[in-house]
Amino acid sequence: MLKPLLPLALIAALSGGCAHQTAPRTDPLADLLGSVKLVDSPTRTVEQAGQKRLALIVSTSSETQFKTREEQNKQYLEGYVRSWEPGSYGAIKTMQESVGPRQLVDVVLAELRPRFRNVTVVNDFAAFRQQGRDVAVVMDVGMEGTTSNTPAKLEAEYTTDVTLIFFDPQIRRIGTAVGKATERGERSWGADIAKAFLLFAPDPKPEEIYGPLVAAEKKSRETAFARLRTAVDALVRR
């Protein structure tokens, strides 16, 4: 005998299909440099960074990635979850927020601030020059996520790719630091589906179902930033 309503695990397992959380990634410097030719700085490292003021520029490509992910999250939360899993709304919203895309900017700022005298976010190179700062960094982000749902399991693969391009006051490229990592997570449906047909079996919590996927994305970010940190260490010297 089935429960009065199909349990969360059974609905999720039978829904099937794949979801892709990917936005087109474009040249992060195209709209910033315009017709200006990209040239390399004669200085290949940032020396005495602790005495220098840095301006962080978030690329248009990154903003597109962020907005696409935010829109996808909102559509899933306000559409599917609110309609079919209203009791899971709060938990799923919390999990979405725990891997919010704009957190990547906060982590980059946290990496840069201890290394420089002062760090601020500006819109473009014009603002960088107007403020008379010493170093500019263009941040470019790639977020790729593929979720596959079959009667056997729910699985996801997440790739976090963060690039920081350093420039001197003459808008010449000093160097580039990159951190990229891919992680996978999955949830087997076997035990959940069996329990779903028992009248008094508890329905698994959203955290149990989607937690492994969220953990995989968090891990991809942690690993990517660990690699980025090593690359920045090679470029920036206090």
How would DSSP label each residue in 29-56?
THHHHTTSPP-B-S--SB-SGGG-EEEE
Both tokens assigned to 142: 């790639």
Q: How confident is the model at residue 21 (pLDDT cuts 50, 70, 90)?
A: low
pLDDT in the model for residue 162: 98
Q: Is the pLDDT of residue 2 over 50?
A: no
Give the angle 218-154-8 at the CA atoms, nearest 5°. Answer: 105
pLDDT in the model for residue 153: 86
Residue 20, judged by CB atoms within 10 A of its CB (0-12, 13-18, 19+), counts as exposed
Residue 80, Cβ neighbours under 10 Å: how many? 13
Which residues, 6+ apart, have CB-to-CB distance to 16 below 8 Å?
149, 150, 151
pLDDT in the model for residue 35: 84
pLDDT in the model for residue 16: 44
Q: Is the pLDDT of residue 10 over 50?
A: no
Residue identified by tokens 């490229």 is 173
Share of the chain above pLDDT 70, in %: 85
* Mean pLDDT, the chain, integer: 87
Q: Is the pLDDT of residue 168 over 90?
A: yes
Both tokens assigned to 148: 């596959």
Instruction: Kindly report, residue by residue over 36-49, the tens digit of the pLDDT.
Output: 899 999 999 999 99
Amino acid at 178: V
Both tokens assigned to 9: 């695990």
pLDDT in the model for residue 233: 97
Sign of the dihedral through C-alpha 5, 8, 9, 13:
positive
